[in-house]
Amino acid sequence: MSYEPTFTPPSGPIIGRRDGRVIRATGIPYATAARFQPPSPAPDRATPLLATSPAPACPQAPVPFLDEVLGTRYGELPGSEDCQNLSITMPADIDPAEKLPVMVWIHGGSYTTGSGDLAIFDSAALAAENRVVVVSVTYRLGLFGFLSTRTGRPGNLGLLDQLEAFRWVQRNISAFGGDPHRVTAFGQSAGGDAIAHLMAVPEAPTLFQRAIIQSAPLGISRGRATMNHAMGIAAESVTEETPAMDVVEIEERVTQVARKFGMRAAMPFGTQYGHHPLPAEAGIEAAWNHTAPGIQVLMGHTSQEARLFLPRNRFLSALERVPVLGKTALRAINWVVTETVYGRASRKFARRHSAAGGTAHHYVLDWHAPGNIYGSAHTIDLPLLFGTKDTWDGVGLIAGATWDEVDAAGQQVRALWAQFAGGAAGSDLGDSGGIPGVLKYRVA
């Protein structure tokens, strides 16, 4: 591969690489921070940065279940606490005079796993097919990024990392052919939850003008203070000197503390109200209302979110085998969990956003591989947006579908997301619409 593409953003010269239909510039530092400290912008450089290696992942524990379902591989990226990096993917034939829509990806993973440069998040098809610039952000997770303590350790450090990434984009993306006035934040699961909460920051409309919020667990984002306090006490043994992988091991013990707090413990780490940059919980809706007129929203969920998690439950697996009533009961449980954690809260968020002077569309995604045990489960949108046949070959989530079937649906989803982001077709989605057999949306 040639290292010839050179960019000269204000942050300093960057050398990327050509990769088939796209140009990539990867592993670019956007911020720096000591452990448990807020981030500062990465210093500008006078010497060129060779941006050809992926961004490292925040240290994290393996999740064998997700490796099986999504095809990830624990350790596929190096781990480092200095993980505040972003990667840029753009069409290979971009013209220097072009200013393309920018889509900034915030990955999910319950705020404890994942990384922007995982293979399952490869945005080459999205960028090349739709002429958009895609920025993938890696940020601090778990105990490194999302838990305050009584001793004054701040919460929301990972959220502050994300804000620094958006500020970097505003300052530098023009050099990569991106339009800083057409920036869309998009993220799935915890990534969608993070974007929703970034929208509570007064600065948000100056950083991104559109938001795509996919399967955000907003139904369990409130009433977490007591749980987080108990977790913080359990985490106080971690110091600035504790080895990174020991921190990850302690994180698992901290997670155990949350289990007595019911459904909220399904995602124990996360944003904390009353900790910078978020207001107290009582003020969150007013904060959202303040920024609503400046941000267009497309948000929704899959029709069977809970089916990703139900097969792991021994009781529910046994229930499914009960003749006649078993499958009916399982469908009811899936509906209740999907509605409680994702559906009801996302519709409420969209309606409130519209009432506050913003525009919002709400979607439900129903695509699934024929006969697949997971159905239209949580994360089923990922293979429709990212990756390649090699990435997803043999993965449990889409077993039963050919790659041609997945890609045919995926091309349409990618086109819709890019249209909303301000592509050639414009961002106006009308009152309602959809993709037959894949998803439906309507204005909130």
Cis ω for the linkage preceding 436 (within 30 of 0): no
Catalytic annotation on 189?
yes
Strands 85-91 and 17-19: unpaired
Catalytic annotation on 378?
yes
For the chain, what is the HEC assignment?
CCCCCEECCCCCCEECEEECCEEEEEEEECEECCCCCCCEECCCCCCCEECECCCCECCCCCCHHHHHHHCCCCCCCCECCCCCEEEEEEECCCCCCCCEEEEEEECCCCCCCCCCCCHHHCCHHHHHHHCCEEEEECCCCHHHHCCCCCCCCCCCHHHHHHHHHHHHHHHHHHHHCEEEEEEEEEEECHHHHHHHHHCCCCCHHHHCCEEEEECCCHHHCCCCHHHHHHHHHHCCCCCCCCCHHHHHHHHHHHHHHHHHHHHHHHCCCCCCCCCCCCCCHHHHHHHHHHHHHHCEEEEEEECCHHHHCHHHCHHHHHHHCCCCHHHHHHHHHHHHHHHHHHHHHHHHHHHHHHHCCCEEEEEEECCCCCCCCCCCCCCCCHHHHCCCHHHHCCCHHHCCCCHHHHHHHHHHHHHHHHHHCCCCCCCCCCCEEEECCCEEEEEC
Active-site residue, selected from the candidate residues 303, 376, 378, 427: 378
Strands of the sheet containing 6-7, edge to edge, are 6-7, 14-15, 49-50
Active-site residue, selected from the candidate residues 301, 305, 362, 376: 305
Strands 100-106 and 133-137: parallel
Active-site residue, selected from the candidate residues 189, 303, 346, 427: 189
Phi and psi torsions of 101, nearest 5°: -60, 150
CA diameter of the chain:
69
262 Ramachandran zone, left/alpha/beta (phi>0; psi -120 to 50): left
- Burial of 105 (C-beta count, 10 Å sphere; 0-12/13-18/19+): buried
Q: Which residues are designated catalytic?
A: 189, 305, 378
